[in-house]
Chain A
Amino acid sequence: MQFSSTLLEALIAEITRLPGIGRKSAQRIAFYLLRVPADEAGRLANAILELKARVEDCSICGNVTETQPCALCADSRRDGAVLCVVEHAMDVLAIERTAEFRGRYHVLKGALSPVDGVGPDQIRIRELMARVESGGVTEIIVATNPTAQGEATALYIARLMQAHPSVRVTRIARGVPMGSDLEFSDQITLARAITGRKEI
């Protein structure tokens, strides 16, 4: 259905492009924005503009930041000898929430996927190798997703790291979620967990 306002149509079209939002939701959001006070809508518009103007990638780890380098890279209490390699900046947040990791990060901004035209040059692999070659790194924890793309990226990094035998390359473990009953685990995860079982 087309609305009588082309501006409204244009806004709906823009909102529809956001991830996870279909046309119905976009219409609801657009009508909501139409009715909110001008200053409230202005705050949202400004927040988006400011974000685009001031937030950029950290020159070292690739995480999103307003300062160079980012707070995580600048924090001298963090252990620069251990690098945790993730696909996206959101994964940094997830690992930070665990409060278990005190090393530094490297955000690849993607994973190998020839089908999508993503090769090693399209993700921040070269930057990772440069960090390793500049010295001081003793371990790389590859925390890419447990998908075929994430696995291939992990294996690719492990192969490149064979040139640096002093650096240990590890992969995050996978298995059953804590605090949930086995009976509710999906069968594939559970089967994997059994295959990858450990001595206690």
Chain B
Amino acid sequence: MRLLRLELQNFRNHRDCCADLEGRPTLLLGANGSGKTNWIEAAALVSIGRSFRGAKDRDLVRRGADAYEVRATLSGRAGAPRAVTVRGSLRGPREVSVDGAPVSRLADLLGRVPTVQFSVEDVAVLNGDPAGRRRFLDVALCQLEPAYVGALREYMAALKQRNRLLAESLKRNGNGGGGVDETECAAWEEILARTGVEIDRRRAMLCDDLDRRIAGLGDQVDPDLALGLAYGEAVESPERRAERLEAARPRDGRWGWTSIGPHRARVDCRIQGRALNDGASRGYARLYSILVRLALAGVLDERLGEPPVVLLDDPESELDPRWIGRLLALVPEGSQAIVTACRPLTTSPDRFHVMPIESCEVAEVVAAGGTTT
């Protein structure tokens, strides 16, 4: 998948901005506050249908305007979308259309314009609480496997219901627990078991795949890195999971919430044999964050048969200057990399085209063949 052109209207700080990337690997250069991260957010929006920062439409509309529009012109393998438009306004639902036809369900967009994105905020995600790492897997799997979206939705709905059942009985009976309608609780647990095991299985498979790839990619940057990724929840049968949920029922009843399942799973990111959130330097955390996305790009390429657009927002800050060139060389063959920076990269492959991003508008390519050194 390659991005030929991206047009933004009234999106964040961009009034009217048209970038003709022509599918080439591109370095977007701009000062702080010029809207580089916003541009990356817009590029990801046409892929996942929402802001990767979790922003609502009212935050995406430029101050003073009442609606934004992002239009992407794309090229990919046969049958891939040629144009995706996302419109949002202060009021009313977001509208997404693919090749001119409206898309009513987000699930029908996911995976059709594959991207991976790295932004500054992501460093804290991998390195912070486990919820962020689970979300990373969820976003990836929603692009890869439509069935995952359904399982996740059903799981979260059933989880909310079982938790409410437990909380209500806690309120009625105090923290001695008990008083839950066992049959009703078991009905919700059966859904949690079926969908939860499905989620765990798919997450574990993705983690295995990412683990293999990130170890290999890490070796190419620096053989001492010893990177790894592992999913912490056991893959088991739905029957076994239902038994465990039943066994946990008295304790869950005292706590008022469900204590086992994919919503509590650990995702372990390791560097040099230690957990990433166990005192790894910020530079290492950033390097890991970028490499795990490049590993994901490889997975998307292989499984969707379409190399994803790789969006890297300001990857070089806090990074060992020796690494950036090696990192960019690891972008899968066929993937278009779009990288932002405040100043030319220390080292980058020659094929990168440079586009200045200034005062909210991305100008034309400086000169055909313009490169950084």
Interface on A for B, CB 8 Å cutoff?
112-115, 119-120, 147-149, 151-153, 155-156, 159-160, 186-188, 190-192, 195
Contacts and interface: CB of A to CB of B under 8 A. Distances in A.
Contact of B184 (A120, A186, A188, A190): A120
B186 A192 contact: no
B107 A112 contact: no
B165 interface: yes
Contact of B161 (A113, A187, A188): A113
Contacts of B168: 114
5 contacts: A119-B184, A120-B181, A147-B157, A148-B161, A191-B150
B108 A186 contact: yes
Contacts of B105: 186, 188
A160 B107 contact: no
Contact of A160 (B108, B146, B160, B183): B183
Nearest to B111: A187
Interface of B: 105, 107-108, 110, 145-147, 149-150, 154, 157-158, 160-162, 164-165, 168, 181, 183-184, 186-188, 190-191
Main secondary structure of the interface of B (DSSP, over half): helix
Given A192-B147, A195-B147, A148 B154 contact: yes
A188 B188 CA distance: 21
A188 B186 contact: no
Given A148-B161, A152-B158, A188 B191 contact: no
Contact of A151 (B108, B181, B183, B191): B191
Nearest to B104: A186
A159 B183 contact: yes
Contacts, number: 71
B304 to A, nearest CB: 13
Contact of A187 (B108, B183, B184, B187): B108
B181 A115 contact: no
Contacts of B147: 187-188, 191-192, 195
A39 B146 CA distance: 55
Contacts of A192: 147, 150
Q: Which of B149, B150, B186 is packed against the most chain A CB atoms within 10 Å?
A: B150
B107 A152 contact: no
B353 to A, nearest CB: 35
B161 A153 contact: no
B158 to A, nearest CB: 5
A115 B186 contact: no
A114 B164 contact: yes
Given A153-B187, A187-B146, A192-B147, A115 B161 contact: yes
A155 B146 contact: no
Nearest to B160: A115
A192 B168 CA distance: 33
Contacts of A147: 157
Across the A-B interface, give the 8 residue pairs with the lowest CB-CB distance, nearest first.
Answer: A187-B146, A191-B147, A148-B157, A188-B150, A156-B187, A155-B187, A114-B164, A114-B165
A188 B187 contact: no
Contacts of B164: 114-115
A188 B150 CA distance: 6
A125 B145 CA distance: 37
B173 to A, nearest CB: 15
A113 B162 CA distance: 9
A188 B164 CA distance: 27
